[in-house]
Every structure is written in C-alpha cells, then in structure tokens.
Amino acid sequence: MPVITLPDGSSRQFDNAITVYDVAADIGAGLAKATLAGVVDGREVDASYSIESDAELRIITSRDDQALEILRHSTAHLLAQAVQQLFPGTQVTIGPTVEDGFYYDFASDHNFSLEDLEKIEAKMQALVADDLPVSRLVYSREQAVEMFRDMGEHYKVEIIEALLEGEEISVYQQGDWMDLCRGPHVPSTGKLGAFKLTKVAGAYWRGDANNQQLQRIYGTAWSSPKELKAYLNRIAEAEKRDHRKIGRKLGLFHFADDAPGSVFWHPKGWTLFRELLEYMRGRQDAAGYVEVNTPDVMDRSLWETSGHWFNYRENMFSTQTEDERIFALKPMNCPGSVSMFAQGLKSYRDLPLRMAEFGKVHRYEPSGALHGLMRVRHFTQDDAHIYCTEAQMEQECIDVVALVLNIYKDFGFEDVVIKLSTRPENRIGSDEVWDKLEGALSNALDVMGLDYVLFPGEGAFYGPKLEFVLRDAIGRDWQCGTLQVDMNLPERFDITYVDEDGNRDKRPVMLHRALFGSLERFIGILIEHFEGNFPVWLAPQQAVVVNITDKQSNYAEDVVSTLKAQGLRVATDLRNEKVGFKIREAELSKLPYVLVVGEKEREAGTVAVRGRHGADLGVMSVADFGAHLQTEIANKSVVNKTA
C-alpha cells in the first residue's frame, strides 16, 4: 500500500503499486492529460513507471524546466523513426539533446539535403498525428545485441557491447519502431509537435576522424508553438546580427587559411580593439593594478611546473629546437605572471599586488570548432593576477566582482548571471585548500548580496572559479569574465613573501581574473549585441563630414581637422556623388553621426547634424557639436540617445 508524497507536502495512499500517470489521474483529469513524466525520489522516470513502495513524487508537465530535455530527446527519436521510414537501410547511431534542441547522427547511402528536411518534418508531424504510444522495454545485454544485430543496426550493437556484462538494456518503442535509450520519454508521440529541423552537417562516429563519416540532422523542439516561433524569430535576428557578416560589411577584420583561427584586423577593427584595451587599461589603473608583459614562448619545464603540460597539453602549440629543448606558445598567462612575482623579495607591505597583462595566448582548437571571433586559436586576454594574503583574499574577490559588474554596465549588460564552479575530480591541491578557496568566493558573493548558480565539479584543475554570463539584446547568454582563486600554483612554483614577523616562507594566494575574457570574443559579442551600431565612445569612426558640392571640400576638411584635434574619430566623404547617396552610405556603415555641409554651413561655420536612423538634429556650430560629442563620450552612453 504505497504512500505517495507530493511536492506540496500532501500524500495519497493506494492499495497496490501505481504508475506516475495513474497518480496524476487520481489528482485530476487535466493533470493526467498534461503529464509527460515524473520524478520519483529524485530520479526522472516515465509516466508509465510503477511505484511499488512509499515515495516522493513530482509530476512533470510542459511547464516544468525538466520537460524540455524530455521533449527534445523524444523528438530526436521521432526524427530517427521518420528518417528510417522514408529512407530504408539507414542506420541510427546516437541522438542526444543539445542547447536549444537535438540532433541525430545517421549512416545512410542517401545524402540528406535541405529539401529532405521538409519531407522528414512532414513525416514527423504525421507520426505525431498518429499519437503512437511510447513504451519502455528491458532486455539483457545478450538479448539486445542479438535484436539490434538482426535489425542491421551495427552501431547500436557496438554501443551495447561496450557496456558491462549483465547490465540491463532499456529500449523505447513507438509503433513498430524502437531505439536503444535510457529515457525517460513522453507517453506518446502526440505529446510532441512544436519542432523544426534546422540543418544537416557531417560528423564522425564517436567523434573520431578515423571512423566512418555520418550525417547529422539538427532540430529544435519546444513546449509550445509560441515558444518555437519565438525561438525561430530569435535565430532569424541572430542571423541578421552575425558578427562575421557585419565585420565584413563594416571592414573591421577578416580571416584567411594562411592563419586559421587568427584575426586579420583592419584599421577600423583595430581602432575598436584599441579602444577596448585603453578602456580596460584606464579602469585597471584606477583600481590599483600595475601592467606587465611576459614572453609568448616559454620552456616546457615551466608548463610542467604549472601542471598545464599534463592537464592541457593537447591544446598547446609546441616546438623543439636544435638543442632538443621543447618550447610552447603560451595558452595561459599565469606561469609568466608567477615568474614575474618571483623576481626579487616580496613583503606583506607589497600585497595585494595586482598585475595586469594584455597577454596574447595560443590554443589549439579543432578546425571544425573555429567560429569567427567567438572561437579562435590566437587571442588576447585582459588578464590579471592578484597576489594577496589569506586575510585579504575575500575582499579582493569582492573588489573584482564589483569591478566586473560595473564595467559590464558601461556596455549595456545589466542582466548578469554569476556561476560558481567548484572542485573537479581531476585537480591538484588538498581538500583543506579547496575548502578555503571555495569559501572565499561564496562568502564574497554572500557579503555582496548577489545570487549565484552552483556548478559542482566544474572548477579549473588548480582552483574554483566564478563565471560571469551576460545576456545580450536578443536574449542570448554569453560567458565572459572569470575569477579563480588559487593556492596551488604558488606552492608549485614555490613563491613566498615576508610576513609581519619576518618569516620568509609565507605563501601568497593567487587570484586569476579576466573581465572581458578574450578581447576578440568580446568584440564579436558587442558587434552582435549592438548589431554594429556601436555607442559613440566605442565606434571606430564617430562621424563623417559630407559636402554637397566641391565648393565645401576645404571647409569639410577644416571641420575634420578641428574635431580630430579634440581626439574625435572623424573623416570626410568628398566623393563626387549626390549628398543623399553619401548620407545613405554613412547610415549603412552604421556611423553615429553624419555632418552635412553646404554653402549655408560653410558661410556660418556650422554643420547640419544627422543622427542614426536619419534623425535630424538640426544645425550646430562646430564647437557645439564637438562639445556634444565629448559629453556623450564622457558619459559612456550605451546608445546614441539623441538619435
């Protein structure tokens, strides 16, 4: 007679074992209809799962966060069933969920096209209309191998044979189709429907390029058609904002096969890069940092001491010299910083010592993972390493968090999620040390009254970390800044300071901190966030002066000279084109201001000012416009409020 305890604390007693679905039906017909799965004593299960003893139960409906994972996994099975019905002889491999959707890898003689996706989608919708019941079946390892071998599913056989002997194998069946899976899944195909297939790509079996190439079909699935539509609109908006397209259009940068994963910065793009760098340099100077610079190439022994050679070697570029010394391009700035700290005797009076470096780092990323500015092999970090006493550690964490949140506001990012990642399985250092480090980060956030999300086991191998996730203009999340606390590298490098009692063997705590993260990636995020319409203080070019006829050419150049003398980024457009054409070109180049000069303006020493999107701001003297621009820049306005 199981007693079922529900989330509100109420309980219900039943005479016999009962399924999750039947409990929902006992509560109400509406809940039964909405039931997708359940959570029994903390474990996700199917709606058909039988509860035989006292248990805590939570019903999962489409309103629950966990529902999306189940819906997407079930839709992946729906995709596989549709593909095999339309293209007999196709073998299915794996079909996991991913962020915002799912994919399934297929081995097929047929080359899937975008046109095929429409046919597959239609077949999937037909299977939804059939409302096929989904059931879970359990087989022994041997039975499952025999069954899938008979079906010609050789990839499934390989998966099963890799499992431990004696392990039970669960299979999900819908109609006459079945697939290996742990579940849970929706009760029937009729629970699905808000999905869209998005693209076809290549993939290798088990991710190994030495294995057979497969075809991967991606899709997205949501709890309702409304959510699906909102997502597709968001994707369309993201496509418009693609930083690679805007970067080409605005002449900011390019990539080439001569240097895969490395950026060729054009003058306007490099101006943007330098503005970001100088902005951060100013903020760090004001916060008590000193700036240093360390070598790009260092001996293997340094990376062995830091632990990177053993924990990160596959991502490092290295080379061997004639004398058989092995050197590596630095993937991190930390060892160089520690080497800098080790030069000369340090006292407690020197701490906290905040050393910043705009360090160029190189990391091997597979060619398939490279993605514009977002994923590169060569990039610049706004790195800093803070050396402090244990007593100073928590306050330094507080100061870093306050600084990063304040900096993000200058770029219009006020919705920031903080993630706390704690000790991973593969780590260096004692549990006692990790307790101190994790406590410093969590205490700092508690003191500041900031919420955070805990990610157990996701810390770096040398210390726990905070990650700062920004939400952009169209609701996408980007992980940018990090803060890590570390007592392990100081020990591995044997760095010390002299304490108040004259002891020379005191270990400093080391804080690793990057606020933009990668300047390249942050620029990519900014391009997409602003859709290329950078705030005036950041815009590579802040205004263009256009003349109506050649008579105003000299005056236009005088205006530019006057404004440039004030440190403003202004240019002329004196081409023999109609003024309307030049204004339109400037707007397409997303310039904050267009200054039109005709005979009236030349004679009066003024400019006719146009803001973004064609806003007419009237006629101003050159001095007044310069003052207006200087004020907007000084205020770090996120948007051109006058436009």
| Residue 257 domain flag | no
Catalytic residue among 72, 512, 513, 602: 512
Give burial (CB, 10 Å; 0-12/13-18/19+) of 195.
Answer: buried
pLDDT, mean of residues 378-396: 95
List the alpha helices (DSSP H) in 354-389: none
pLDDT digits (tens, 9 = 90+) for 260-315: 999 999 999 999 999 999 999 999 999 999 999 999 999 999 999 988 888 888 88
pLDDT confidence tier of residue 430, bands split at 50, 70 and 90? confident
Number of domains in the chain: 4
Contact 222, 62 (CB under 8 A): no
Are 442 and 345 part of one and the same domain? yes
Per-residue pLDDT at 460: 83
Which comes out higher in pLDDT, residue 20 or 366? 20
Same domain, residue pair 574 and 501: no
Residues 473, 530 contacting (CB under 8 angstroms)? yes
**pLDDT at residue 65 in the model:** 86
Q: Which of 73, 346, 363, 375 is catalytic?
A: 363
What was the pLDDT predicted at 498?
Answer: 96
- Residue 78 CB contacts under 8 Å (≥ 6 apart), including other chains: 124, 127, 128, 174, 189, 192, 195
Does the annotation count 362 as an active-site position? no
| CATH code at position 402 | 3.30.930.10
Among 13, 41, 60, the domain-final residue is 60
The reply to whether 385 belongs to the active site is: yes
Q: Are strands 18-19 and 11-13 parallel, antiparallel or unpaired?
A: unpaired
Position 385 scores a pLDDT of 97
| pLDDT value, residue 428 | 78
Residues 373 and 462 in one domain: yes
Which CATH number goes with the domain that contains 10? 3.10.20.30
363 belongs to the catalytic site: yes
Shared domain check, 368 and 474 = yes
Among 414, 419, 536, 427, which residue's Cα sits nearest to residue 468? 419
Domain shared by 556 and 442, yes or no: no
Asked if residue 367 belongs to a domain, the reply is: yes
Model confidence at 643: pLDDT above 80: no
Residue range 84-106: mean pLDDT, rounded: 94
560 in any annotated domain:
yes
Residues 229 and 202 in one domain: yes
Show the tokens assigned to 353: 């010592």
pLDDT digits (tens, 9 = 90+) for 559-591: 999 999 999 999 999 999 999 999 999 999 999
d(CA 229, CA 264): 37
- CATH number of the domain residue 548 falls in: 3.40.50.800
In the listed set 465, 500, 530, which residue is the last one of a domain according to the structure? 530
Q: Does a structural domain hold residue 78?
A: yes
Q: Is residue 255 part of a domain?
A: no
Residues 364 and 404 in one domain: yes
Which one of the listed residues 381, 541, 542, 552 is annotated catalytic?
381
Looking at the structure, do residues 54 and 128 belong to the same domain, yes or no?
Answer: no
Active site residue 573: no
Question: Is residue 431 domain-shared with residue 412, that is, in the same domain?
Answer: yes
* Full-model pTM: 0.82
> What pLDDT is recorded for position 615?
87
Catalytic residue among 156, 181, 185, 334: 334
Whether residues 503 and 611 share a domain: the answer is: no
Concerning whether 575 is annotated as a catalytic residue, the answer is no
pLDDT at position 641 is 37
pLDDT digits (tens, 9 = 90+) for 159-214: 998 887 778 899 999 999 999 999 999 999 999 989 999 999 999 998 888 899 99
Domain that includes residue 81, residue range: 65-238
| Contact predicate 95/218, CB 8 Å | no
CB atoms near residue 616 (< 10 Å): 9
Q: Which of 241, 385, 521, 582 is catalytic?
A: 385
356 and 498 co-located in one domain: yes
pLDDT number for residue 155: 93
Average pLDDT over residues 612-624: 92
- Angle, helix 154-161 to helix 141-150, in steps of 10 degrees: 170
Is there a domain that residue 639 lies in? no
Longest dimension (CA), the chain: 97
129 located within any domain: yes
pLDDT band at 439 (very low <50, low <70, confident <90, very high): very high
Provide the strand spans (E) within 93-241: 97-98, 101-107, 134-139, 169-174, 177-180, 195-204, 213-221
Among candidate residues 600, 568, 561, 596, the one with its CA nearest the CA of residue 582: 596
pLDDT of residue 602: 96
pLDDT band at 322 (very low <50, low <70, confident <90, very high): confident
> Is 60 exceeded by the pLDDT of residue 420?
yes
Domain boundary among 475, 504, 530: 530
Q: Domain for residue 449, yes or no?
A: yes
Is 230 in the same domain as 270? no
Given 196, 241, 308, 465, the catalytic residue: 465
What single DSSP character describes residue 288? T
The enclosing domain of 147 has a CATH number of 3.30.980.10
Q: Is 243 helix (H, G, I), strand (E, B) or coil?
A: helix
